[in-house]
Amino acid sequence: MNCDHCDKPAVVHEIVIKGGDSKEVHLCSDHAIAAGYPLPVEQPLADIFPKLGSVAKVEAAKSKERSAKCAACGLTFTVFRKSATLGCPACYDAFMPMIEKVIESAQDGATHHLGRSPVGGAEIERVQNLRVKMMRDLEAAIAAEQYERAAKLRDELKALDSPSP
């Protein structure tokens, strides 16, 4: 659409109501300035969309945070946020990358452990994993009222704990 007063394209479009009559006004930039209208600020679409995109990203991240749950112990990130205490070692991987931010901000930006490592051998780990598995079986057996099985597991656990010959 062209300007009401010349052939240049109109940039200001107004409906002026005067004495009960309405009238459309279309003005080019020169005539708009002359008539005292503020010129519309041109805003490229690209400026708006990245912002919309980042809002969506933040929302997605927040909803991911809210729904994050540790498969091993069942702790949710929301509960962790309240208690500041994790449920089990697997939580550290389950709540990445949120946990990374928590640690790094508490540790003055440090990102990796540089200190000592455990000295325990593979055999200790094997026996310990076995003990843990048996313990879980024992709890399950008690919950399911399988008392004979529970008694057996208890004996096995005792045997595991007694010093080997």
Could you list the residues that contact other proteins (CB under 8 A)?
72-75, 83-89, 91-92, 99, 102-103, 106-120, 124-125, 128-129, 131-132, 135, 138-139, 142, 161, 163
Q: Least distance to other proteins from the beta carbon of 44, Å?
A: 43
- The span from the CA of 165 to the CA of 163, in Å, is 6
**Closer Cβ to other proteins, 1 or 71, answer by number:** 71
Q: How far apart are CA 20 and CA 42, in angstroms?
A: 33
Give the burial class of 32: count Cβ atoms within 10 A of its Cβ; 0-12 exposed, 13-18 middle, 19 or more buried: buried
- Smallest gap from Cβ 113 to other proteins, in A, equals 3
* Minimum gap (Å) between residue 161 Cβ and other proteins: 6
Nearer to other proteins, 36 or 118 (CB): 118
Report d(CA 160, CA 132) in Å as an integer. 11
Q: Which is nearer to other proteins, 17 or 122 (CB)?
A: 122
Residue closer to other proteins by CB (options 43, 83) is 83
Q: What is the DSSP string of 40-63?
A: PPP--HHHHHHHHHHHHHHHHHHH
